[in-house]
């Protein structure tokens, strides 16, 4: 048969690369190959055209069923398994140059589970670690009365969720608007951008837990390491897209992404762990002054 080449199993990476090259390329579903093996290929292929269309959209992964008011619409964003989520988390902490997060890990199946629960965990880990570090830094002080500082959770939630939803919106909007005329690379969808940003925040969770250790140089080192890792995931993801633009635009875009990311890290550290500034002097006379400064800073 002349179409056995089309029907043999192809490596998934190739297929996704081909799809990114030309999203309208016809793909062959497994049911088609089975039908042709049975020998009634003409009839079966006609009947399977609808299935083939569905398989196309499933491979592209971006056509949820139903309108945005139905439950099924959102269910299509949670179509992941444990192994896939673990895979994506691993990919977000180990950026390898040339390995595009969206192409290699997401593979046209972005999900909302990862970004949402990573943001929730980050909110609580930052608030709890900040509370613990405040407590530890004033452990020996007898006049210190422990306070849970529960309002920090609200502030952390607002900041992190706004970052994780507004910055991808701006990035996606900008890149879609500036898409080059001969762009061979299709721009990422909004969901994929949100996904990349959400997974890139994962490294801040262990970082915020390590920030409890009251060593100033360690905290700045941790900020540097986590911003570099997380920022490089973002840079490697967006590099192929901005490659078509002029060098200045490309450099500015990537730089803005990095600056915003490091601002988030430094801002979190400064606000939630700001007692580190005062931990240098062990003199007891200055401690009560510092506690009043701390409480007034709120």
Partner 1 sequence: MAEADGSSRAFLGLSDVSISEDIPVEGDISMPPTSSSQDDGFSTLDEPVKDTVLRDLKAVGNKFVHVLYPKKSKALLRDWDLWGPLLLCVTLALLLQGGSVDSKDDGGPQFAEVFVIIWFGSLIITLNSKLLGGTISFFQSLCVLGYCIMPLTVAMVVCRIVLLGGSGTVSFVVRLVVVCASFGWSTFASTAFLADSQPQNRKALVVYPVFLFYFVIGWMILTFAPAQ
Task: Compare residues 129 and 227 and give the one whose CB is closer to partner 1.
Answer: 129
Q: State yes or no: residue 80 binds partner 1 (CB under 8 A).
A: yes
Smallest separation (angstroms) from partner 1 to the CB of 101:
20
Q: Which stretch binds partner 1 (CB under 8 A): 53-61, 117-125, 222-230, 262-270?
A: 117-125
158 binds partner 1 (CB under 8 A): no
Instruction: Report d(CA 94, CA 225) in Å as an integer.
Output: 12
- CA angle, corner 261, sides to 260 and 264, nearest 5? 90
| Of 124 and 190, CB closest to partner 1 | 124
Contacts of 165 (CB under 8 A, 6+ apart): 194
Helix 113-137 vs helix 82-93: crossing angle, to nearest 10: 60
Report in angstroms how near the CB of residue 153 gets to partner 1 at its nearest: 9
Distances (CA, A) of 252 to 56, 165, 176, 256, 262: 36, 21, 16, 6, 15
Instruction: Tell me: does residue 90 bind partner 1 (CB under 8 A).
Output: no
| Alpha-carbon gap, residue 234 to 265, rounded angstroms | 15
Choose one: 32-40, 145-153, 178-186, 256-264; the region binding partner 1 (CB under 8 A): 145-153
**Minimum distance from residue 271 beta carbon to partner 1 (Å):** 14
85 binds partner 1 (CB under 8 A): yes
Q: Which is nearer to partner 1, 19 or 123 (CB)?
A: 123
Look-up: residue for tokens 């939803």? 165
User: In 22-112, which residue ranges form alpha helices assigned H by DSSP?
Assistant: 30-38, 41-47, 49-60, 71-75, 82-93, 101
- Residues 6 or more apart whose CB falls under 8 angstroms from that of 121 comprise 205
Using the rule CB under 8 A, which residue among 46, 140, 151, 270 binds partner 1? 151
- For the purposes of burial, counting CB atoms within 10 Å of the CB of 136, is it exposed (0-12), middle (13-18) or buried (19 or more)? middle
Q: Pick the closer one to partner 1 by CB: 68 or 71.
A: 71
Does position 78 interact with partner 1 (CB under 8 A)? The reply is yes
For partner 1, the binding residue among 9, 68, 69, 150 (CB under 8 A) is 150
In this complex, which beta carbon is closest to partner 1, that of residue 118 or of residue 257? Answer: 118
Give me the residues that bind partner 1 (CB under 8 A), please: 71, 74-75, 77-78, 80-83, 85, 113, 117, 120-121, 124, 128, 131, 145-151, 295, 298
């Amino acid at each position: 048969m002349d179409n056995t080449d089309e029907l043999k199993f192809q490596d998934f990476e190739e297929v996704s690369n081909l799809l990114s090259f030309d999203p309208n390329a016809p793909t062959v579903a497994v049911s088609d190959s089975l039908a042709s093996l049975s020998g009634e290929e003409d009839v079966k292929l006609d009947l399977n055209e609808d299935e083939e269309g569905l398989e196309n959209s499933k491979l592209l992964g971006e056509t949820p069923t139903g309108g945005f008011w139905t439950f099924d619409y959102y269910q299509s964003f949670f179509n992941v398994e444990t192994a896939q989520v673990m895979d994506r988390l691993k990919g977000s902490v180990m950026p390898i140059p040339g390995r595009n997060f969206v192409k290699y890990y997401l593979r046209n199946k972005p999900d909302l589970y990862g970004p949402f629960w990573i943001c929730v965990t980050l909110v609580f880990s930052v608030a709890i670690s900040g509370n613990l570090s405040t407590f530890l830094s004033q452990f020996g002080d007898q006049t210190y009365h422990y306070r849970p500082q529960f309002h920090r959770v609200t502030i952390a939630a607002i900041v992190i969720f706004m970052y994780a939803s507004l910055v991808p919106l701006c990035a996606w909007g900008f890149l879609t608007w500036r898409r080059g005329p001969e762009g061979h690379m299709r721009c990422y969808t909004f969901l994929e951008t949100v996904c990349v940003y959400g997974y890139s925040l994962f490294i801040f969770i262990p970082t915020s837990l390590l920030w409890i250790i009251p060593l100033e140089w360690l905290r700045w080192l941790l900020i540097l390491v986590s911003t570099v890792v997380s920022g490089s995931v973002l840079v490697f993801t967006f590099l192929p897209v901005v490659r078509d633009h002029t060098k200045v635009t490309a450099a500015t875009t990537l730089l803005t992404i990095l600056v915003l990311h490091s601002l988030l890290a430094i801002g979190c550290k400064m606000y939630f762990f700001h007692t580190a500034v005062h931990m240098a002097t062990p003199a007891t006379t200055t401690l009560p002054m510092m506690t009043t400064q701390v409480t007034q800073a709120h």
